[in-house]
Amino acid sequence: MIALSAEGLSFAPPGASDVLHDISLQARAGEVLGILGPNGAGKSSLLRLFYGASLPSRGAASIGGIDVNRLSASKRARLVAAVPQESPPDFHLTVRDIVETGRTAYVSKFLGRDPEGPAAVVRALQRLGLDAFARRNYSTLSGGEKKRTLIARALAQETQALILDEPVSHLDIRHKLEVLALMRRLEATVMVSLHDFDLAAQFCDRLAILHHGRLVAEGPPEDVLLPATIHEVFGVAATITRDKRRGTLRVITESLPTTLDPRKDQ
């Protein structure tokens, strides 16, 4: 397992100003680091820098102490797997075909073979409960089934680190819990963006909160999920309790009084 770290990381899309500002944080080897923040906070932009989909304007994202962009695509794919927020186009591929693409970096240039690939693909399908879907066309799947297929593809890469951008969106509650529990059991370093405070507190070792592209809090859930921080960043009131059975934090939120007039939307 390897650490994922950012040092003075900033990012600006082409022709635009920075959407990330001087981010320094670390997912330690073997831990699950949850990334929280409202829409537009920069979560996806940050994660894309860690798997090489974007280039920073300043600073560096590193895998095991090596700048992501100094690694070849093949070497990077053997170290870190990613599940982006957006789904790929609905090509006429089966679920198994999609999961097999996770083994691309292991195919020998000379022999054209990946001896360990078939077993890795079967394990990934089984872990995500997709055995019965292996021959289904990807385009026929529901949103949740597509998300599980992409997670299986990432697992098939058998990397030391995983980058997951809202991996439980579109999933029903059962599959949300199963996917996050699986994430906890993996022998890998995980960086994952989430929207649910309770799930983040239950399944993540540490949390980082982004607001307007800046890191405003980082640490264990009990040090990060504070009413004042949640109020400032997310614009809601929060009551923090602790689950008596699991011992993890529970966050109860409610909207704040607003001056918006609902009649304006009529």
Confidence of residue 266 (pLDDT cuts 50, 70, 90): very low
Looking at residue 49, what is its pLDDT? 96
* Burial class of residue 205, CB neighbours in 10 A (0-12, 13-18, 19+): middle
Q: Give strand pairing partners of 193.
A: 35, 165
Confidence of residue 29 (pLDDT cuts 50, 70, 90): very high
Q: Is the pLDDT of residue 27 over 50?
A: yes
The CATH number given to whatever domain includes residue 251 is 3.40.50.300
Instruction: State how far the Cα of 153 lies from the Cα of 100, in Å rounded to an integer.
Output: 7
Confidence of residue 109 (pLDDT cuts 50, 70, 90): low
Considering the chain, what is the average pLDDT of its residues? 91
Q: Give strand pairing partners of 128.
A: none
Confidence of residue 265 (pLDDT cuts 50, 70, 90): very low
pTM for this model (two decimals): 0.90
Q: Which two structure tokens, joined as six digits, stand for 52?
A: 């090489």
Task: Give the number of other CB atoms < 10 A from CB of residue 127.
Answer: 19
Range name among 48-62, 98-112, 147-161, 175-189 with the lowest pLDDT average: 98-112
Confidence of residue 85 (pLDDT cuts 50, 70, 90): confident
In sign, the C-alpha dihedral spanning 21, 208, 195, 259 is negative
Q: How many helices (H) and strands (E) does the chain have?
A: 9, 12
Residue 60's φ and ψ, nearest 5 degrees, are: -150, 145
Looking at residue 243, what is its pLDDT? 86
Q: Which domain holds residue 52?
A: 4-265
Looking at the 3D structure of the chain, how many domains does it have? 1
